[in-house]
Structure 1
Amino acid sequence: MAVVVLDGLRNLYNSMRAQGISRYRFNYQRGPANFDVMFLVDESPFALLFGAKGHTLSFEFKVQAGFRVVHPQLDKPDFANLCSLLRLEFDPNNRFSPGGFLQDFNNHIPAHANPAQKAEPHDIARVRRNVEEAHKIYFCGWRDNKPRGERVTPKNLEKTLQLLGPKTAASCDKKNISSCWTDIPGGKVDVTDP
């Protein structure tokens, strides 16, 4: 399947925009598997993140203009884990694919965003784990690097980009500010502009 159109995202996107929500989190269940899904519209292209609850499986799709996912694919280990989680067995007459997974998902996308379900940085960190100090998932503040004569590191900017979005990362780069993170849930603070 070359392109999957997720037209179910259109209403959700419009609801998010109307409420000023750029990162939204909701649940999707398919068979025995339950997924935390995050729809990030502050990235270009948009990002759709899936994290299997209670498992280490996570994956991401880029959503192009028109809510299209072009050539939806997963790497082999993730695809095998997904099939295992869904308890699928190979059937040559009914082949399972990432595109088929997305087509089913399209029918389960909420039409309206609930402001209480904004995707927080620690939610996103559970899916995007390939970042600096991946165990530190709770945002705990900003550090101005100018008084120390230091420069925000590329790794910190990448973590800021992945977990807080491109606008915040660009602001941190311009102002020479690092995002700070902790592994202690009680140390978490609300994200403010740097």
Structure 2
Amino acid sequence: MKLSGLGNLHSSMRDQSIDRYKFNFTFNNVKFDVMYFIDEKPNILAFGIVKHNYYFEIPVKEGFYIKPFLEEYSKFCKIMGFKYQPDNPFRPSKFFEEFNGQIPSNAKHKNVPKPHQIAVYRNDVEESEKIYFVKWRDNTKAGHQVSPENLEKTRKLLSYKAYLRCKKKNISSCWSVNSSDENKYYLPV
């Protein structure tokens, strides 16, 4: 299935050097947080509902094609309040068709997600309670090696570019549980 609505958003993001974008989508009166990651290959569409502890990711292939599939189909239907109807079952393609019509055309910098906003959903990382980015640590100076787990957290919560730079230069991302410790994310030097 092609999500043609992603074309304009993708172009707007690239024109403004935005790698990750967050927006809302409402389906059947349920509000989803949606994040579009164009720094990953394939691109990723992430859908989440915090109050239901529900999250899934969909790979977006070149040309904005996706496989209209929901991994936790029964949980999705329960959240949506769908009742089983043998003559008219819910199809995931209906969800994605509706979504395609609500994709914003233009990106705005105020909608670039902060790492802690991504961490709410991508919480399968080391020290998952530490969601606020603090700083970079040069492991070479300390005589250490960046861990694969820290690199994965960097990739998932910050960016693929940060992951590559940290891997190449032996740098770790440092995190805190306290929002007051948070610093603005920037690529390590």
What is the match of residue 153 of structure 2? Answer: 159
Task: Check conservation: 1:160, 1:168, Cα contact below 8 A.
Answer: yes
1:177 and 2:171 matched:
yes
Written as runs of structure 1 = structure 2, the 5 A alignment for 1:86-165 is: 86-165=80-159
Q: Percent identity?
A: 43
Task: Check conservation: 1:32, 1:85, Cα contact below 8 A.
Answer: no
Task: Check conservation: 2:50, 2:120, Cα contact below 8 A.
Answer: no
Query: Which structure 2 segments of 5+ residues have no match?
Result: none
For 1:146 and 1:97, locate their aligned partners in 2 and report how far apart those are by CA, in whole Å.
52
Counterpart of 2:20 (choices 9, 23, 26) is: 23
For 1:138 and 1:99, locate their aligned partners in 2 and report how far apart those are by CA, in whole Å.
36
Deviations 1:58-109 (A, max 9, x none): 1110000010003x3333xx32221111111111222223332112111111
Task: Check conservation: 2:116, 2:131, Cα contact below 8 A.
Answer: yes
Written as runs of structure 1 = structure 2, the 5 A alignment for 1:180-191 is: 180-191=174-185
Counterpart of 1:73 (choices 49, 69, 73) is: 69
For 2:92 and 2:133, locate their aligned partners in 1 and report how far apart those are by CA, in whole Å.
32
TM-score (norm 2): 0.94
For 1:40 and 1:86, locate their aligned partners in 2 and report how far apart those are by CA, in whole Å.
25
User: Runs ≥4 in structure 1, deviation > 6 angstroms?
Assistant: none
The alpha-carbon deviation at position 154 of structure 1 amounts to 0.4
Deviations 1:130-185 (A, max 9, x none): 11111111111111111221100000001111111211101001110000111211
Task: Check conservation: 1:26, 1:117, Cα contact below 8 A.
Answer: yes
1:42 and 2:39 matched:
yes
For 1:165 and 1:192, locate their aligned partners in 2 and report how far apart those are by CA, in whole Å.
10
For 2:17 and 2:141, locate their aligned partners in 1 and report how far apart those are by CA, in whole Å.
34
Q: Aligned residue pairs: how many?
A: 188
The alpha-carbon deviation at position 127 of structure 1 amounts to 1.6
The amino acid across from 1:22 in the alignment is D
Query: Which structure 1 segments of 5+ residues have no match?
Result: none
For 1:18 and 1:113, locate their aligned partners in 2 and report how far apart those are by CA, in whole Å.
9
TM-score (norm 1): 0.92
Task: Check conservation: 1:34, 1:53, Cα contact below 8 A.
Answer: no
Q: Counterpart of 1:91 in 2: which secondary structure?
A: coil
For 2:94 and 2:127, locate their aligned partners in 1 and report how far apart those are by CA, in whole Å.
34
1:55 and 2:52 matched:
yes
The alpha-carbon deviation at position 32 of structure 1 amounts to 2.7
What is the match of residue 187 of structure 2? Answer: 193
Task: Check conservation: 2:42, 2:59, Cα contact below 8 A.
Answer: yes
The alpha-carbon deviation at position 55 of structure 1 amounts to 2.0
Q: Counterpart of 2:66 in 1: which secondary structure?
A: strand
Cα RMSD of the aligned pairs, angstroms, is: 1.3
For 1:132 and 1:81, locate their aligned partners in 2 and report how far apart those are by CA, in whole Å.
26
